[in-house]
Structure 1
Amino acid sequence: MWLLWAAIAVSVAVVLRYCACTPLPCAIGQQWKLLLLDALLKTAIRLVKDNSTIVQGSPHHTRSPVRVMERLGLGRHVKATRRSSKVPEATVKKSTAEPGAGFLTVSDVAFDGVPVRVYQPLTASEDRLRRGLLYIHGGGWAYGSAKDGAYDRGSCKMSKELNMVVVSVDYRLYPETRFPTPYLECLTAAKRFLSPGVLAEYGVDPERVAISGDSAGGNLAAALAQEIAMDDSVRVKFSVQALIYPALQALDFNTPSYQQNRDMVILNRPLMVQFWLQYLGGDLSLKPHLLANEHSFNVAPEFRAGLDWTALLLPEHQKDYFPVRGEGPRGMERILDEVPGLLDVRAAPLLAGREVLAKCPRAYVMTCEYDVLRDDGLMYARRLRDAGVEVTAEHHRDGFHGCFTLTAWPFEFDVGVRAFADYVRWLRDNL
């Protein structure tokens, strides 16, 4: 027993030391809680990696095949990290009341082979038909699930508070699959949900259907909003799109927000680059070249204009940063050929042309000041406006990446509760 308490004491000491040595911007509230969360996440990932590194009983600490595959970029440790994250999540879930208990029916079904979780209110609808929402979870295209934790609670709350049918997509993740499969699976689910027969089955008003997502899910939601808007074969279109700190491009990893928040907790710049390479099937050895923007120095002008932050961002967001025009070593120009997804608008919606953006539904774009993805969202809001789309841009000056889903004990943050409430309010008023 004393060994257990000793281990707990050491763990607490390590976390406290980490918190004390990791300064955060003064504008962020509840800093100790955020640092604790970040420390726990990093510790869980590190333990998974360490346990997969050493073959037990070997006097020379032999490297295991799992570690070798990780070095090759095959990402097997992602699966283990996903499993380990379910343990504390299950504990939290047992300690909190189900937000939809007694008010909703929740069912796991498949839309043309794609798993989705459907949330339907049990109460009688004041109108003949209800609102509908297709939600796509985040997690760097490698983590997360419609069925787990914050996403399940959030969908329950949205369905209950807005008397809305919510369809949350459980698309496949890295390393099991890569782009374009997650996009195509979400597109399949979207088209199925938008079909007149399914909308009628769930009692959804075809004039009030939204698409939404956060982070990597915001990426997929934006791409789907563009695709559905341009597809004449789809009779019912999305009425609105609501994007929560979306990842929208992988050509410039030195925007002001990437530079300002390069070492920010929860999501830093190297981790975001890794997520992109994993999603697009790129070799992880390219990571330092992408960090230096060496992959984008010969990008065509039409693509570069779509993410020219010197023209698209307000001075207050440009701050004192300067563009980084990487000119890599000989051969780096082939990166765009080796990783074609970097220029594919289905993966990078910010690169879409004005004619595509002009057809998109009105938008809600939420950004956070202390987030590497801040400028992706701000630039997209500006480009949508310039194309004639009505946009509500919600910027949280004390926000950080991931806060939108941090609304329940033990990691409930004031900014997260506020951000979620603003999002629900906008949907209530605009859908």
Structure 2
Amino acid sequence: MELLVTIFLVVLTLFVAMVFYYEHPTAKIPPGFSERKKLYAFHYIMNFGFGMAIVLEKLGIMSEVSFIRTVMDGIPPPKDKHLIITDLVFEKVEVRLYQPKTSTTGQRRGVLYFHGGVGRFGSIRAYERTCRYLSRKTNSVVVSVGYRLAPEYPYPTQFQDCLTATIHFMKTAQDYGVDPSRIIVCGDSSGGTITAAVAQALVNRRDVPKLRAQILIYPFLQAADFDLPSYQQNAKIPVLIRERTIILGLKYLNKDLSAVNTLLKGTHVSAERRQKYQKWLSADNIPHEFKTRGYTPPGPAPYSEELYKLAKPFLEPLFSPLLCEDSVIAQLPETFILTCEYDVLRDDGLLYKKRLEDHGIKVTLCHLEEGFHGTIFLAAYGKVVTFQSGIKGLEKITKFLRLM
């Protein structure tokens, strides 16, 4: 019996691998990319993982989200002799606190980290290495927020948990040796979305100190235009291909996946809204050097009221922080934005940079010429999966934090 089960699993594995190899042969890696083979291998493994998750769910063995969460969590690193690591609860939100053991004069800076994963994946454990690295290298108290995930806890629970944890930490910062005036919020990918939304939610609060800064690592910042130069240029470049971006967003909001193609065309945005967004969300605001790999301005898309009703949450500032009103943008703290050349979300970061600077906000941009979506997450792991772009990006982030 055990032999039959083993044979079945081997055959299943090979089947899934073959299916997803042939389903995604169009993935394109730039010819001049210096770590081309490694990126292709990583992309193939990711496709295999997503495929395996779907098959296991259909067989009733394990749900798709459970499988991907398990894979992302991986094997936890060994104990860290340089840090005191404590699991706590901030107003019913699970967090993990990282405190350097080294002595220091005065209070440390505090960093709240919101992990990526499109609101459905990721965890404190998955980002253990990243948060340890930031705490050690910057002598900071880092708080990794274990916000609840969809679909068990529907959107916007994820934002609410992060905001709750942030406010609690800001009010009790001194209990952890943190200067309340030196608190930074930070996140990658969808965690960057949450970071931007939390920073916006705090600007008018008078019961907590002002944030010192926000760090947005290849953030998703708008769902109104999926035809920006970066979306066109990187549509088939690993790891976050264009169609997958929309599919993951629809799954996060528990929406009908059949809307993918019409969303890509922008039929959920009316002419009136498009006109309003034009000053913030236009390819004209993106520097010319980011269009040299090709860009064709899209024609007008027919508006669908039905699709707008389906996608309405996509256009709310909570989901698309780039679409927030000027009165809020003008009060945001100093900002660090990391973008990657080979990432569909690149232009979200570039557009947000311009919008912030137009309102007098100081912005530090770190653009990784060979960067791709997820490279920072991988940077804290061993040489086998680490890319040079991720190492460079982490160094830039730590350098910025040390100045705060």
| 2:214 equivalent to 1:209 | no
8 Å contact kept, 1:368–1:374:
yes
Corresponding position of 2:291: 318
Using the alignment, how far apart are the partners of 1:140 and 1:215 within structure 2? 8
Corresponding position of 1:364: 336
Aligned residue identity for 2:369 = R
Corresponding position of 1:25: 30
Aligned residue identity for 1:120 = Q
SS at structure 2 position matched to 1:422? helix
* Equivalent in 218, 222, 246 of residue 273 of structure 1: 246
Corresponding position of 1:389: 361
8 Å contact kept, 1:44–1:85:
no
Aligned residue identity for 1:291 = L
What is the CA distance between 1:84 and its match in structure 2? Answer: 4.2
| 2:133 equivalent to 1:171 | no
| 2:115 equivalent to 1:110 | no
Structure 2 gap segments, 5+ residues each: none
8 Å contact kept, 2:13–2:52:
no
| 2:91 equivalent to 1:119 | no
What is the CA distance between 1:223 and its match in structure 2? Answer: 0.8
Aligned residues: 396
8 Å contact kept, 2:72–2:122:
no
Structure 1 gap segments, 5+ residues each: 57-65, 67-75
Distance 1:263-1:225 versus aligned 2 partners, 3 A rule? same
What is the CA distance between 1:325 and its match in structure 2? Answer: 4.6
* Equivalent in 48, 51, 60 of residue 53 of structure 2: 48
Using the alignment, how far apart are the partners of 2:174 and 2:332 within structure 1? 24
What is the CA distance between 1:291 and its match in structure 2? Answer: 1.4
Using the alignment, how far apart are the partners of 1:176 and 1:324 within structure 2? 37
| 2:282 equivalent to 1:295 | no
| 2:68 equivalent to 1:81 | yes
Aligned residue identity for 1:129 = Q
Distance 1:323-1:304 versus aligned 2 partners, 3 A rule? farther
Corresponding position of 1:249: 222
Using the alignment, how far apart are the partners of 1:249 and 1:341 within structure 2? 11
Using the alignment, how far apart are the partners of 2:274 and 2:237 within structure 1? 31
Alignment map for 1:55-70 (pairs within 5 Å): none
8 Å contact kept, 2:56–2:64:
no
What is the CA distance between 1:422 and its match in structure 2? Answer: 0.9
Aligned residue identity for 1:283 = D
TM-score, normalised via structure 1 length = 0.84
Alignment map for 1:182-201 (pairs within 5 Å): 182-195=158-171, 198-201=172-175
What is the CA distance between 1:21 and its match in structure 2? Answer: 7.5
8 Å contact kept, 2:221–2:349:
yes
Using the alignment, how far apart are the partners of 1:114 and 1:297 within structure 2? 38
8 Å contact kept, 1:121–1:159:
yes
Using the alignment, how far apart are the partners of 1:365 and 1:213 within structure 2? 10
Distance 1:285-1:166 versus aligned 2 partners, 3 A rule? same
What is the CA distance between 1:23 and its match in structure 2? Answer: 4.1
Corresponding position of 1:417: 391
What is the CA distance between 1:14 and its match in structure 2? Answer: 6.1
- C-alpha distance after superposition, 1:200-242 (max 9, x if no partner): 11010112110110000000001111111122x3331110111
SS at structure 2 position matched to 1:230? coil
8 Å contact kept, 2:28–2:237:
no
What is the CA distance between 1:109 and its match in structure 2? Answer: 1.1
| 2:320 equivalent to 1:348 | yes
8 Å contact kept, 1:246–1:377:
yes
| 2:128 equivalent to 1:152 | yes
Using the alignment, how far apart are the partners of 2:257 and 2:236 within structure 1? 19
* More divergent stretch after superposition (405-414 vs 420-429): 405-414
Task: Work out the percentage of aligned pairs sharing the same amino acid.
Answer: 34
| 2:108 equivalent to 1:130 | yes
Using the alignment, how far apart are the partners of 1:118 and 1:235 within structure 2? 20
Using the alignment, how far apart are the partners of 1:31 and 1:177 within structure 2? 38
Distance 1:7-1:118 versus aligned 2 partners, 3 A rule? same
What is the CA distance between 1:45 and its match in structure 2? Answer: 1.7
Aligned residue identity for 1:355 = S
What is the CA distance between 1:51 and its match in structure 2? Answer: 2.9
What is the CA distance between 1:308 and its match in structure 2? Answer: 2.7
Aligned residue identity for 1:193 = F
Using the alignment, how far apart are the partners of 1:208 and 1:360 within structure 2? 15
- C-alpha distance after superposition, 1:79-123 (max 9, x if no partner): 23223444xx22xx4xx655xx11111111111011111111112
What is the CA distance between 1:139 and its match in structure 2? Answer: 1.2
Aligned residue identity for 1:423 = I
8 Å contact kept, 1:120–1:166:
yes
8 Å contact kept, 1:106–1:120:
yes
Using the alignment, how far apart are the partners of 2:60 and 2:117 within structure 1? 29
8 Å contact kept, 2:342–2:372:
yes
8 Å contact kept, 2:378–2:390:
yes
8 Å contact kept, 2:240–2:373:
yes
What is the CA distance between 1:131 and its match in structure 2? Answer: 0.7
* More divergent stretch after superposition (206-215 vs 278-287): 278-287
